[in-house]
Amino acid sequence: MSRFRGDLLTKDTHDWLARATALAPLIEAAGGRTEMERKIPADVLSAMHAARLFHILLPVSLGGGGVDLVTFNEVVETLAAADASPAWCLAQAAVTSHAAGFLEPKIAREVFGASDALVAWGPPAGIAKALAVDGGYRVTGKWRFASGSANATWMGGHSTVFEASDKPRRDAGGNPINRTMLFRRERAHIGDTWHVLGLRGTASHDYEVTDLFVPEEYTTWRDSAADRRESGPLYNIPMLTLYGVGFSGVALGIAGSSLAAFMQLAQTKRSGGGLGSANLLRDNTVIQSGLARASGQLRSARAFLVQMLREVWVSSATSGALSLEQRAHLRVAITGAMEAARKVVNFAYRAAGTTAIFEGSAFERRFRDLHTLLAQGQAHLSNFESAGQALFGLEPRQRL
């Protein structure tokens, strides 16, 4: 994989991609345990922490990597080629550390700075209430899809602020005000709810708290200009966009490893269902054509994504703002990469035939993981509608 190196991209002394590459064999070998334990196994998690991967987006001022978007995406992709669940947890937790740039440094260091720090959160299941009281909030709510919750040190709860039990606090435009409440993992009740098709090792469980006091200084809101403490290009990019950068890397990693596994299989497996055919899959014209298309789709999607990540990073670093057109093209690149990954994984799975359907094959878990990933909002086809509106010069109804 190519890395763009330039004045505005990551130039620190640590090679983050080399760290991910070195960990990939351990992560791949542990894939069965990750799925069985339904979380990142302790030895894998320890190795990821030792490589400081969960600090990859943390501000440099707090001891983090503060890397550029291309580097972040490639690191996630590298881990996902080995196993999607740890890569997904890394992407999720790294993006949560974006909030460190919107907290007082002392609090940010306490929550995100520890060597084993991993913050998990997810969207509310209904309205989570943060009742304003002296010094902070009394929080009651339930949230879902907290990837990494089994290994988290802190949790976050996105909540609507209330002045009274039936009176939400509103901004100048009349919209309810939201804050993310940060609290230690042991303060939350985490349910055993993540029984799903794929990404089983992410421990994306539901969690809840009741009447929990959270001090004001342990709250923030994504991309809030009033809360921002850090400068630099990372903090001009919306947190929700950063999720897309990470999750598209997971999709590309799954697709790339699926295609590579199929190309290896095609060298020895014979076509015709084993009914005496002498032809290898690699010599089948349908397979040859399908492979060429799949390879082109994957490489094209990845090239466009990297191009847009580089362009957006440079614009953020130089002007501090992204144009509507750039936001649209980045959204097309993110969701388009996931859509391309779907086509590639489906090709590899189907072309592998019965080899693919057995547990432990090179295809079965990757197929499940990719199709579970596609249920996440960054992969929704409605993203193309929003991008199309933006390309017409219209501010989309759904945020890019």
Identify the pLDDT of residue 11: 57
Backbone angles phi, psi at 207, to 5 degrees: -155, 160
Rounded to 5°, the CA angle 100-106-109 comes to: 50
Task: Report CA-CA distances (Å) from 201 to 123, 147, 156, 196, 270.
Answer: 19, 9, 20, 10, 34
Identify the pLDDT of residue 158: 98
Cβ-contact 196, 213 below 8 angstroms: no
Identify the pLDDT of residue 165: 81
Q: Take residue 274 and report the two structure tokens written for it.
A: 């084993």
Quick check: 141 pLDDT over 60? yes
**What is residue 270's DSSP assignment?**
B
Domain boundaries, the chain: 16-112, 119-220, 237-391
CATH class of 16-112: mainly alpha
What gap in Å lies between CA 101 and CA 104, rounded to an integer?
A: 8
Quick check: 267 pLDDT over 70? yes
Quick check: 273 pLDDT over 80? no
Residue-wise pLDDT tens digits, 376-388: 999 999 999 999 9
Backbone angles phi, psi at 231, to 5 degrees: -95, -175
Cβ-contact 82, 25 below 8 angstroms: yes
Residue-wise pLDDT tens digits, 234-263: 999 999 999 999 999 999 999 999 999 999
Q: What is the mean pLDDT of residues 58-84?
A: 96
Q: Take residue 159 and report the two structure tokens written for it.
A: 């909540």
| Closest of 85, 60, 50, 90 to residue 72, by C-alpha | 90
Identify the pLDDT of residue 274: 55
Identify the pLDDT of residue 397: 84
| Closest of 49, 55, 73, 46 to residue 12, by C-alpha | 55
The residues near 39 (Cβ < 8 Å, ≥ 6 apart) are: 150, 151, 201, 202, 203
Task: Report CA-CA distances (Å) from 331 to 139, 272, 369, 387.
Answer: 34, 41, 22, 6
Query: Structure pTM?
Result: 0.95
Residue-wise pLDDT tens digits, 111-127: 999 999 999 999 999 99
Residue for token pair 């109804």: 397
- CATH entry, 237-391, from 3.90.45.10, 1.10.1740.110, 1.20.140.10, 1.10.3720.10: 1.20.140.10
Maximum pairwise Cα distance, the chain = 79
Identify the pLDDT of residue 13: 38
Q: Which CATH superfamily is domain 119-220 in?
A: Butyryl-CoA Dehydrogenase, subunit A, domain 2 (2.40.110.10)
What gap in Å lies between CA 118 and CA 110, rounded to an integer?
A: 12
- If you average pLDDT over every residue of the chain, what do you get? 94
pLDDT band at residue 399, thresholds of 50, 70 and 90?
A: confident
Q: Which residue has the higher pLDDT, 277 or 299?
A: 299
Q: What is the mean pLDDT of residues 193-216?
A: 98
Quick check: 1 pLDDT over 60? no
Quick check: 293 pLDDT over 70? yes
Residue percentage of the chain with pLDDT more than 70 = 95
What gap in Å lies between CA 289 and CA 347, rounded to an integer?
A: 11
Q: Per DSSP, what are the bridge partners of residue 142?
A: 208
Q: What is the mean pLDDT of residues 357-366?
A: 97
Quick check: 14 pLDDT over 70? no
Identify the pLDDT of residue 4: 39
Residue for token pair 């199929």: 262
Domain pair 16-112 / 119-220, same fold: no
pLDDT band at residue 398, thresholds of 50, 70 and 90?
A: confident
pLDDT band at residue 3, thresholds of 50, 70 and 90?
A: very low
**What is residue 253's DSSP assignment?**
H
CA 171 to chain CA mean position, Å: 30
Residues constituting the chain: 400
pLDDT band at residue 271, thresholds of 50, 70 and 90?
A: confident
Cβ-contact 193, 135 below 8 angstroms: no
Cβ-contact 248, 363 below 8 angstroms: no
Quick check: 9 pLDDT over 80? no
Read out DSSP for 33-65? HHHHHTS--HHHHHHHHHTTGGGTTS-GGGT--
Q: Take residue 209 and report the two structure tokens written for it.
A: 């708290």
Q: What is the mean pLDDT of residues 129-138?
A: 98
Rounded to 5°, the CA angle 235-238-240 comes to: 135
